[in-house]
Structure 1
Amino acid sequence: MAKESVHTAGGYYPPVGFHFRVEFINVGNDNDVRFQSVGGLNMELEVENIKEGGQNLFEHKLPGRSKFSDLTLKRGLLLDSDIIKWIKNALYNKEFEPVDMNISLLNSDHTALLTWKVFRAWPRKWSISDLNATENSITVETLEIVYNYFEIEKG
């Protein structure tokens, strides 16, 4: 009897992108792990162009440093948030306390499939959505976070 193949998120189908958790290590409370969206989890290599004397047809392209984009986190406005206290302390008092973060993509059992370990993160910007009396929507706060780099771990 042939063994039946199992279709799991790690096998034939890609995992869903709407089940995730954001953790600020040593900052935040239980509400501070829930976000509507996370953007900016990407990296790229800078390219150095080298011009060679006498060669006018092309430039040599060499790999340079790795570059990581700023993170953009969005969620409904929270009135009691340790993350916002951390951000206000940085933006108002210029007291920057970089923290590490974990951004985990979860499966249906709420266990991590992939985790992006973000190192030395600090707040760059905090904003809220426009207040508009003609719309029926929640107030969304947006956090922009700068960091040094991230590593990806499976599980």
Structure 2
Amino acid sequence: MLDKGYPPVGFYFSLSFEAIRTTADAAFQEVSGLSVERETETIGEGGQNLYKYQVPAVAKYSNLVLKRGLLIEGSALAAWVRTTIGSDLSEPIVPKQVFLSLLNEQGGPLAFWSFEQAWPVKWSVSDFKADDSAIVIETLELTYTRFQQQRVSK
């Protein structure tokens, strides 16, 4: 059992997308980019011009990066990615909420993040190499307006 003061492991997590319910669509092996940074604005002091002050500005969120083995079959997630990235922008982009849970050893949630207004900005596939037997990895990068973290009470 996980000791209350002990840090959790990062390999047991669950990912899901609003209105996309297939298991394969949520089966990612890596999630990164959970970071937020408060940008600052520099303001010079009036009069003496000896000092500059850093004042808070907007929060900047990193893109959420998801990696998994390449799925060959079509899926609801793949269709959303193709529609969004391949769009000519004559129709509005349809953002989705993304949910990430860090799980305990029983599969219950320890912490929970929700990413608001997420939509794909980049999709890529790892290189193909004749001398390498590595699994082909697809990478999906999402932008979002903000994320919220919630701790799950026991």
Q: 2:115 aligned to 118, 132, 148, which one?
A: 118
What does 1:69-148 align with in structure 2 at a 5 Å threshold?
A: 69-80=62-73, 81-94=75-88, 95=91, 96-148=93-145
Q: 1:42 aligned to 35, 47, 65, which one?
A: 35
How far has the Cα of 1:76 moved from its partner?
0.4
CA distance in 1, matches of 2:21, 2:143: 17
Match of residue 4 from structure 1: none
TM-score by length of 1: 0.89
Q: After the TM superposition, which segments of 4 or more aligned residues of structure 1 sit over 6 Å from their partners?
A: none
CA RMSD of aligned residues (A): 1.4
Residue pair 1:119, 1:148 contacting (<8 A) in 2 also: yes
Letter in 2 for 1:25: E
Q: How many residues are matched?
A: 147
How far has the Cα of 1:39 moved from its partner?
1.0
Q: What secondary structure, in the 3-state scheme, does the structure 2 residue paired with 1:131 have? A: coil
Letter in 1 for 2:134: S
Match of residue 8 from structure 1: 2
The percentage of aligned residue pairs carrying the same residue is: 38
Residue 26 of structure 1 pairs with residue 53 of structure 2: no
Q: Which runs of 5+ in 1 are unaligned?
A: 1-6
Residue pair 1:28, 1:83 contacting (<8 A) in 2 also: no
Letter in 2 for 1:139: V
How far has the Cα of 1:52 moved from its partner?
0.8
